[in-house]
Structure 1
Amino acid sequence: MGWLRFAEAGRIISCITNPNTAYMIPVCVEEIEDIVSVAKYILVVEKETVFQRLANDKFCGTHQCIVITGRGYPDVPTRRFLQRLVKQLHLPAYCLVDFDPYGFDILTTYRFGSMQMAYDAKLMRVPEMRWLGVLPSDLEKYQVPERCLLSFTTEDKKKAKAILSRCYLHQEAPQWRLELEIMLHRGKKFEIEALSASSLSFLSEVYIPLKVQEGHI
């Protein structure tokens, strides 16, 4: 089934109607009816550029999944829509973000809610969200080129330390916290696109399918 109302928010590649067709995220989630999908999982990507790459590679149709981007920090409609998809379709959800504190913060926004809207966290959080990547171990495993690595700025370090102090990382996601500690210790960051330095379709053909198969954290 399709959706009747759309807005300038996040975007979705949907297998609910036509594979590899992109739509805007609907604002009025309550008005959506009869959501049906043959998708096997939901993939949330941080950035529009990665979203477009996957669309060009026809990733959704090939792998039977739903791909969503909030174009950075997700807005309320994107988070509510994602939560409804996960609950109604009973699908696993994975998130792919940049290897930096801001990407990690976006990841936690999807799973735990926004720090600015903590009072509404339960209405929009997706506790089932798994971290697909990018992970510290990917740096060596996929031989990210040195030219793609950037050193942490003072602001990056401040951001990482602030996130590490959040109680939910201690209580609900200790492994995520450990990965962030490793990231801070290394003091290096890189974007998702760095993984595709050797091949434009690396994410679609190798990285994402392998990570999904592994289940990830």
Structure 2
Amino acid sequence: VSSSKGLVTGQLSYYEEGRLINCSKRSSTSNGLPVPVHINKVSHLSSSAEYILLVEKETVFQRLANDKFCAKNCCILLTGKGYPDVATRSFLRRLVDQLHLPVYGLMDGDPYGLDILSIYRFGSLTMAYDAKVLAVPSILWLGIFLSDLGHFGLTENCLLPMSKRDEKKADAILNKSYIQQLAPAWWSKLAEFRTRRVKLEVEAISTVSFTSLADHYIPSKIRGQCYI
């Protein structure tokens, strides 16, 4: 049986081939349920969520799930475990189309985080035809940014140096005309990291306190509309 990379949890239920799936219940192996592979077999989406939080990495997903983030904040939590597969992107698009919820992306402050977020928003260059059916143009970048330093207990000590590979990847993204034209604020944030030759991981927030990400960073950023 084929399975998707993605995981979902939170205030969401749906039917898949006649079977009720309740995403607020954890599976036997993790805090999340696998994203459905065949989106055409999904029906009767139902949710009381106020937004969708899309996270880049499974480690962050599991941390937030362990902290009962969705129950406390009335949301849906989704991850593609890095670069997303088609099933995860298709599922996110379906959620947005039917539930009409805002989507906030929580990605590392590095070129790969922005590249992953861009795939969700614009589509994949290797599958240009998929943009109309898979892209989520409304997605917002919640962080993590250099401008977060000095807040939430984040200091310059949290910064990591960019590798040569990081710099090359950043240059490639910054040279993409559609990023400059359609997401200039995203482009500017990455340019700041590239200029300083540093990067910032989401996990840095948890060095302040174990629950700082769930209890302070995400709710404060959403409440203060500190996203782009």
Tell me the TM-score normalised to structure 2 length.
0.88
Q: Secondary structure at the match of 1:184?
A: helix
2:115 alignment partner in structure 1: 105
Q: Secondary structure at the match of 1:83?
A: helix
1:1-217 matches, cutoff 5 A = 7-16=3-12, 17=22, 19=24, 21=26, 22-145=32-155, 147-215=157-225, 216-217=227-228
**Paired amino acid for 1:164:** L
Cα distance change of structure 1 residues 145 and 191 upon mapping to structure 2, 3 Å threshold: same
Retained in 1: the 8 A contact 2:70–2:77? yes
Retained in 2: the 8 A contact 1:100–1:190? yes
Provide the aligned length of Structure 1 versus Structure 2. 213
Question: Cα distance, 1:20 vs. partner?
Answer: 5.8
User: Greater share of strand residues, 1 or 2?
Assistant: 2
- Which digits, 9 at most, give the CA deviation of each residue in 1:2-38, with x for residues without a partner? xxx9824210013123536321000000110000100
Could you tell me which runs of 5 or more consecutive residues in structure 2 were left unpaired when the two chains were aligned: 13-21, 27-31
**Paired amino acid for 1:19:** S
Moved more, 139-148 or 107-116: 139-148
Moved more, 109-118 or 137-146: 137-146
- Which digits, 9 at most, give the CA deviation of each residue in 1:115-162, with x for residues without a partner? 221221222110010001111201333343555422111111111111
Could you tell me how far apart the structure 1 residues matched to 2:200 and 2:146 are?
10
Retained in 2: the 8 A contact 1:10–1:75? yes
Q: Secondary structure at the match of 2:44?
A: coil
Retained in 1: the 8 A contact 2:49–2:74? yes
Cα distance change of structure 1 residues 18 and 164 upon mapping to structure 2, 3 Å threshold: closer
Tell me the TM-score normalised to structure 1 length.
0.92
Could you tell me how far apart the structure 2 residues matched to 1:85 and 1:122 are?
15
Moved more, 151-160 or 17-26: 17-26
Cα distance change of structure 1 residues 206 and 115 upon mapping to structure 2, 3 Å threshold: same
Could you tell me how far apart the structure 2 residues matched to 1:173 and 1:146 are?
26
Retained in 1: the 8 A contact 2:180–2:187? yes
